[in-house]
Amino acid sequence: MLEIKDLHVCVEEDGTEILKGVNLTINEGEVHAIMGPNGSGKSTLSKVVAGHEAYEVTQGDILFEGESILELEADERAHLGLFLAFQYPVEVPGVTNKNLLRQAYNTIAQEQGREELDPLQFEDYAKEKLDLIKMKPEFIERSVNAGFSGGEKKRNEIFQMAVLDPKISFLDETDSGLDIDALKTVANGINQIADDDNAVVMVTHYQRILDYITPDHVHVMIDGEIAKSGDKDLAIKLEEQGYDWLIEPATASV
Ligand code: ADP
Ligand code: MG
Ligand code: MG
């Protein structure tokens, strides 16, 4: 579904290279975790896939369903079915969650030849999805993110994902700042959304959300490259041993 090939990325402004040849293939039905130390390039990778303007791809390609998306704008990528959780976390006072999401939903539906929903139909649809993450119906009437707590913002991201039903979702640090109950709720929501015809990429510094979501593939990003890939056991090893053994193999504990 998504194929990242030898991706090199610089900061547009000053030309600093951040991603130094990333290769990654994500198929439908898979859950991937991208882990790694702070500053290794995890968020940059998510943003570049989303089409963030601050970055320039200097080498390599990103293919979505076999076609390069490098020339597409962020919204065009979203219409294809790519979802990046941080695309909508800004506060939009005066615009309700419901209206923003219905607009996004209908734009994507139109693009993909699906039926658009009128306000009442959308409300019913959205309420079903609210259940997934145990949020109250009033939540969709509030202005987007205005005054949301950290936990509510994270839940809202998963709610948006549930509503938009993307083909592939990148969730960047969705677990950070959540207490244990919120973490379980969010993880449970993600587990219910993940199915055979979509893919989820969890970008996370910590292993803890992986106690509740079992990834099919775990990758460690170090200094702009995928230094190691494995299965869930790799996440457990990282939890026990940290990242040092990958950064300085000579001093790794066995
Ligand atoms: P991670 O998410 O793994 O913690 P990031 O992708 O956020 O890492 O950042 C990787 C490196 O790239 C960091 O050193 C960061 O400061 C730098 N970086 C990312 N985006 C920019 C930017 N827009 N301008 C300058 N430096 C950036
Ligand atoms: Mg980050
Ligand atoms: Mg689906």
Which of 44, 201, 225, 238 has the most ligand 1 atoms within 8 A of CB, as the residue to mutate?
Answer: 44
The pair of three-digit structure tokens given for residue 186, joined into one six-digit string = 């969010």
For ligand 1, whether the C-beta of 41 sits within 6 Å is yes
pTM for this predicted structure = 0.90
What is residue 87's predicted lDDT score, i.e. its pLDDT? 47
**Number of domains into which the chain is organized:** 1
What is residue 176's predicted lDDT score, i.e. its pLDDT? 81
Ligand nearest to the CA of 200: 3
What is residue 39's predicted lDDT score, i.e. its pLDDT? 93
Residue 124 belongs to domain with CATH number: 3.40.50.300
What is residue 138's predicted lDDT score, i.e. its pLDDT? 83
Domain that holds residue 99: 2-251
The pair of three-digit structure tokens given for residue 20, joined into one six-digit string = 């130094």
Query: Which regions of the chain are under pLDDT 70?
Result: 85-93, 145, 248-254
ipTM reported for the complex, 2 dp: 0.95
**What distances in angstroms separate CA 183 from CA 53, 130, 178, 226, one per listed residue?**
31, 16, 5, 26
**pLDDT (tens digit per residue) in 93-136:** 677 888 888 988 998 888 888 899 999 999 999 998 998 888 88
What is residue 31's predicted lDDT score, i.e. its pLDDT? 96
Atom of ligand 1 at shortest range from CA of 55: 23
Q: Output the CA angle 83-154-87, nearest 5 degrees.
A: 35
- What percentage of the chain reaches a pLDDT higher than 90? 50
For ligand 1, whether the C-beta of 166 sits within 6 Å is no
Residue nearest to atom 5 of ligand 1 (CA): 41
